[in-house]
Structure 1
């Protein structure tokens, strides 16, 4: 592998499930992690982290981005010697906003860009590799492509398509200070659900796609979930209470991914402002405002990008 390469990759945060779209729907939002990767002929790995996780993440070859870069390069039959990673982390960790998917996508895209052009993976292969490393496609698909991604597995291969998102939709994220692992949240799910619940959920997921792409006024109805949020609520009681408060006031609010972030899909800036007001009132009433961040975001429509690739 040639030394002297300098690559910058930017990857958006994502919100998976979106209510009824369990393990199949994900939305890219305008909150970005950026990594800069430089190669040299000298052995060793140097990692510099700023922002989220700066005090806790590893700074050696066990760092997820570094590990993924090396795996991507080695799986193509090449090897790396010296590697420097500078990571600017903005996406909160362990909050249901796709931080691990962002790290994996960053590493795979950077590793792929380091390869000779004739050895690089195409878009379909990138999706499949990232999904396998993450374990599922619902976060990596929108992180790669932007917008609303609908993902599935077919004959052992992960696939995804994107659909346009209505221009009026404004995501608002209420992010608590506490983390929740995806494994812990998934462990609360039952092995089976009643057939009527599955049928009802299918209808709401189909409605959600229509609402997100064409008719945002239907988002409160389209975000009703029958498969996972109720079962996970005991692990994130404050988030569940906030979500119910918002929904009781006509706002389309869901648990983002495995939680505990609450994601609002507002129908225009005025409703986003109303949602922010309701969040503030609820947090003040529960004396917990200091433990939350409220972020008005945008829908990311471009997905992950290799922003710069130079040789020095």
Structure 2
């Protein structure tokens, strides 16, 4: 396949995975975005300019994750591996459980879609499968690609995802710590096996999560319970789990975002409140104020809301 364009721009949202009980399955796109501009070069040179998050420590050559994903997609459709100049404007915090690596992967795959002459060869099904090959699991890639809240699953080589409804009063709030934690470290402390009773309990909460997100947000506290991964990670993110405990003691649905250490809070606003999400008052605000007591200690509260559109791409003249 030949290339059909030489410049493109991609925007990809942050994501939160698991949402409590939906381990490696449930995810949600959040209103914080990385922007990537790609320009194909005639030579084989690869140059990456990073602005914002990761500017001081990310690779600037062919080993950059966006470039690796771009080349993976070009190889898949039989297009030539062109040299590229990337400009990455990163806003998603790295190493915080907000899907920065999935955003980079999806950005590279959609950049390839924009560059090739037949973008339909990299439709959403193909992109999700390629992203899962690079990420290892689809729970972040699915909402980054499709937007909204998603459930993703695999069967053999096939990877699929579907969107699920989110009630308009639900406002996702990310509480971001100053410290980082690698996904591999967070996954490394999980046990190889779980008790049958815990698995059955978790399945019930995961099913309830779909109903609570879409139609019964008053059930979100019960629906975000977890027995499979959060407490097992307490040793590597004690402050995050302490915050989850404190917020849940106030009746607030709070979970570890992805592999952490960010904490995701499900706030609720009054019905019909159509103000910008960062101006809405939620039922979680008082609890957050009381828990922190005005001393944030480097933590940031980001009232992000839901990203309904997911990743967007367009060719540039």
TM-score by length of 1: 0.94
Q: 1:117 to 1:267 in 2, by over 3 A?
A: same
Q: Is 2:97–2:257's contact at 8 Å kept on the other side of the alignment?
A: yes
Please name the residue that 1:281 is paired with. Answer: 290
Structure 2: gaps spanning 5 or more residues: 274-279
Q: How many residues align?
A: 308
**What displacement does 1:284 show?**
4.1
**How far apart in 1 are the matches of 2:234 and 2:135?**
24
Structure 1: gaps spanning 5 or more residues: none
**SS of residue paired to 2:179:** coil
For residues 126-180 of structure 1, what are the alpha-carbon distances to aligned partners after superposition, in whole Å with 9 as ceiling and x for unaligned? 1111111110000000111011111111132111111121111101110001111
> 2:15 matched to 1:6?
no
- Residues 34-45 of structure 1 aligned to structure 2 (within 5 Å): 34-45=35-46
**What displacement does 1:43 show?**
3.4
**What displacement does 1:267 show?**
1.8
**How far apart in 1 are the matches of 2:297 and 2:190?**
30
**SS of residue paired to 1:126:** helix
**How far apart in 1 are the matches of 2:165 and 2:256?**
22
**SS of residue paired to 1:56:** coil
**SS of residue paired to 1:74:** helix
**How far apart in 2 are the matches of 1:235 and 1:90?**
25
Please name the residue that 2:301 is paired with. Answer: 294
Please name the residue that 1:174 is paired with. Answer: 175
**What displacement does 1:182 show?**
1.1
Aligned Cα root-mean-square deviation (Å): 1.8
**What displacement does 1:274 show?**
4.6
Please name the residue that 1:304 is paired with. Answer: 311
Please name the residue that 2:277 is paired with. Answer: none
For residues 260-290 of structure 1, what are the alpha-carbon distances to aligned partners after superposition, in whole Å with 9 as ceiling and x for unaligned? 00000112269964534433433348x5x23
**How far apart in 2 are the matches of 1:48 and 1:37?**
10
**What displacement does 1:41 show?**
1.4
Q: 1:87 to 1:157 in 2, by over 3 A?
A: same
**What displacement does 1:114 show?**
1.1
**SS of residue paired to 2:7:** strand
**What displacement does 1:118 show?**
6.5
Q: Is 1:242–1:279's contact at 8 Å kept on the other side of the alignment?
A: no
**SS of residue paired to 1:112:** helix
> 2:133 matched to 1:132?
yes
- Select the structure that is richer in helix: 1
**How far apart in 2 are the matches of 1:3 and 1:27?**
32
Which moves more between the two structures, 6-15 or 65-74? 65-74
- Which stretches of structure 1, 4 residues or more, deviate above 2 A after TM superposition? 1-4, 269-285
**How far apart in 2 are the matches of 1:3 and 1:205?**
43
